[in-house]
Amino acid sequence: MDFFNKITFIGLGLIGGSMAAALKKRGYGGELVGYDASGDASIEGKKWGIIDHKADTLKDAVADADLVVLCTPIAAYAQILKEISPHLKNEAILTDVGSVKGCVADLVKGHINPNIQFIGGHPMAGSEKGGLKAASATLFENAYYFLTPGQETVNGTVAKMETFVKSLGAYPVVVGQREHDKITARISHIPHLAAVILTNLLDREGGVNSVAFAGGGFRDTTRIASGNPAMWKDIFFYNKEEMLQGIQSLEKMLSEFRELLEKKKEDQVLDLLNKAKFIRDGVPKGLPDYMPPLYDIVVDVEDRPGILGELTQLMGDHSMNIKEIEILHAREGEQGAVRMGFATAQEQEQAFLVLRGGGFSRTYMKGEKNDADSESC
Ligand SMILES: NC(=O)c1ccc[n+]([C@@H]2O[C@H](COP(=O)([O-])OP(=O)(O)OC[C@H]3O[C@@H](n4cnc5c(N)ncnc54)[C@H](O)[C@@H]3O)[C@@H](O)[C@H]2O)c1
Ligand SMILES: O=C(O)C(=O)C[C@]1(C(=O)O)C=C[C@@H](O)C=C1
C-alpha cells in the first residue's frame, strides 16, 4: 500500500483502534496517526504501539495524511469535517466507518471541498463493547466491508480503498449509499431494534428477575442489546426511512402471526418456522460463503484459567492447524464450550481423536453441513 504513506484515524475506539492494530499486525510499513477527543485513547494507542504518532489537534492529525479515516460517532462528523476541511492535502482520500451511509455522503458534501476524494465505508464487524480496550487486530478478518463511492469518486480511489480493506483482512463490497442503508437496515439495524424490544419485554412483563435463568436462546437473541445506546440511537435516526419501512413489515408480520395462533393455523405456523430455519441455516458460519467450509469440533471445557492454553498446546503438539477458534457465549456459566474449525474432514477427525485421548472427553464433531443434531455423541 505504498500509495498510503500516512494514515490518520480520527477516533481511536473499538473500530479505529482495531483498524490501526490490524494494519500494524499485518505489516503495514507507513505512519499511523491517531487523534481522539478523549486524550487517553490516543495516549494508550501510542503506548500499546497501535499508532506511531498521537496528534493533539485535528489540524495536526490530518496534515500530510494520504488517508483520513473517521471512526467517531456520526454525530461528531459535522464539527470534525468543518475543522479538518482547510487542512486536508489535495490528493488525500477521506473515508469513514459509520453504520449509515446516505446521511454521511450528504454531510460530507456540505463541508468538504469537492477536490477531496470521499468514499464512505462500513465494516460489517463489531461488538457490543466499545472503546480502545475492546479493540482487536483480528476484528475485520474475513468480514465483509462495504464501500460506498459517490458519483464524484474516481475509479482509482475505489481501487485504493479495496486494497486498504483487504490489508485489514476483510472483503470489500462496493454498493450505492442508499442501497447500503437498505441492506444494513435488514441485516443489522432492525435486528438490533428487535433485540432491544425482546430485552425490554422482560421489564414490561415483570420478568426482569427471571433473567438469571436465561439460557442460550435469550443470550443469542439479545447480546447486541448491550451495545452503546448513544451509537444505536444515532443509527436509528440516521437511517430513519429504512427503519420505518422495516418496522411496518415487523408489525404486519406480528399481527399475521397472532391471527394464525388465534385461529389455530398450525400448518402455517410450521411453514413460518421452516422458512426461518432454512434462511438462518444459510447464514455462513463466521466466514463469507465463498470461503472454503470449515470442519468444526466443539469441546466442553471447565471455566478456569489456562484451559484455552492447554487446548491449543495439545493441538500444536500434534501439528494440528486450527483455522478458527471461538468461545461459545451461549454456554456461559461454569461449563464453557470452545469451537475450533479445521480445513479438512481428515484434520477434524484427527483433532477429535487427539482431544478425546488428551483428556477432553466432552469433545464433539460437527460436519460443515451438520447442525447440533449431528454431534457424534
Ligand atoms: N461498534 C460496532 O460494532 C461498529 C461496527 C461498525 C461500524 N461502527 C461505527 O463506527 C463508529 C465508531 O464506533 P465505535 O464502536 O468504534 O465507538 P467507540 O465509542 O468505541 O469509539 C469512538 C471513539 O471516538 C472518540 N470520539 C468521539 N467524539 C470525537 C470527536 N469529536 N473527535 C475525536 N474523537 C471523538 C471517542 O472518544 C471514542 O474513543 C460509529 O460511527 C459506528 O456507527 C461501529
Ligand atoms: O457483532 C456485533 O456486536 C455487532 O453489532 C456488529 C454490527 C452488526 O453486525 O450488526 C453492528 C453495527 C455495525 O454497524 C456493524 C456490525
The residue whose CA is least distant from atom 42 of ligand 1 is 98
Lowest mean pLDDT among 77-91, 99-113, 273-287: 273-287
Topology of domain 180-281 in CATH is 6-phosphogluconate dehydrogenase C-terminal fold (1.10.3660)
Instruction: Evaluate if residue 297 carries a pLDDT over 60.
Output: yes
Asked if 81 and 108 count as a contact pair (C-beta separation under 8 A), the reply is yes
Cell triple for 138: 483480528
> Could you tell me which residue, 307 or 256, shows the higher pLDDT?
256
The residue whose CA is least distant from atom 39 of ligand 1 is 13
Range list of H helices, 168-210: 177-184, 190-204
What is the number of the ligand 1 atom nearest to the C-alpha of 234?
43
ipTM: 0.98
Residue 277 CA, distance from chain mean position: 23
- Of 280, 343, 355, the closest CA to residue 315 belongs to 355
Range list of H helices, 4-114: 14-25, 39-47, 58-62, 77-84, 102-111
| Mean pLDDT, all residues of the chain | 89
What is the number of the ligand 1 atom nearest to the C-alpha of 80?
31
The enclosing H or E element of 325 equals strand 324-327
Per-residue confidence band for 35, with pLDDT thresholds at 50, 70 and 90: very high
CA of 222 to the centre of ligand 2 (A): 13
3-state secondary structure 214-282: CCHHHHHHHHHHHCCHHHHHHHHHHCHHHHHHHHHHHHHHHHHHHHHHHCCCHHHHHHHHHHHHHHHHC
Topology of domain 295-374 in CATH is Alpha-Beta Plaits (3.30.70)
- Of 51, 116, 41, the closest CA to residue 81 belongs to 116
Cell triple for 159: 481501487
| pLDDT for position 14 | 96
pLDDT tens profile 189-207: 999 999 999 999 988 877 7
CB of residue 105 inside a 6 A radius of ligand 2? no
Instruction: Evaluate if residue 285 carries a pLDDT over 80.
Output: no
| CB neighbourhood size of 188 (10 A) | 17
Cell triple for 259: 391471527
| pLDDT for position 370 | 37
Asked if 254 and 96 count as a contact pair (C-beta separation under 8 A), the reply is no
Q: Hunting for cell 411496518 — which residue is that? A: 248
- Rounded CA-CA distance 24/162 in Å is 18
CA of 310 to the centre of ligand 2 (A): 31
What is the number of the ligand 2 atom nearest to the C-alpha of 187?
10
Cell triple for 313: 498446546
> Could you tell me which residue, 115 or 5, shows the higher pLDDT?
5
Strand order in the sheet with 6-10: 53-54, 31-35, 6-10, 67-70, 93-96, 117-123, 144-149, 171-174
> In angstroms, how far is the first alpha carbon of the chain from the final one?
49
- DSSP lists the bridge partners of residue 68 as 8, 94
- Rounded CA-CA distance 287/329 in Å is 18
The residue whose CA is least distant from atom 27 of ligand 1 is 72
The residue whose CA is least distant from atom 15 of ligand 2 is 124
Asked if 146 and 176 count as a contact pair (C-beta separation under 8 A), the reply is no
CATH of region 6-175: 3.40.50.720
Q: Side chain identity at 370, as an amino acid letter? A: N
The residue whose CA is least distant from atom 2 of ligand 1 is 126
What does the DSSP 8-state code read for residue 293?
Answer: P
- Of 41, 47, 54, 33, the closest CA to residue 14 belongs to 41
CA of 135 to the centre of ligand 1 (A): 11
What is the number of the ligand 2 atom nearest to the C-alpha of 235?
14
CB of residue 355 inside a 6 A radius of ligand 2? no
The residue ranges of every structural domain in the chain are: 6-175, 180-281, 295-374
CA of 73 to the centre of ligand 1 (A): 5
| pLDDT for position 147 | 97
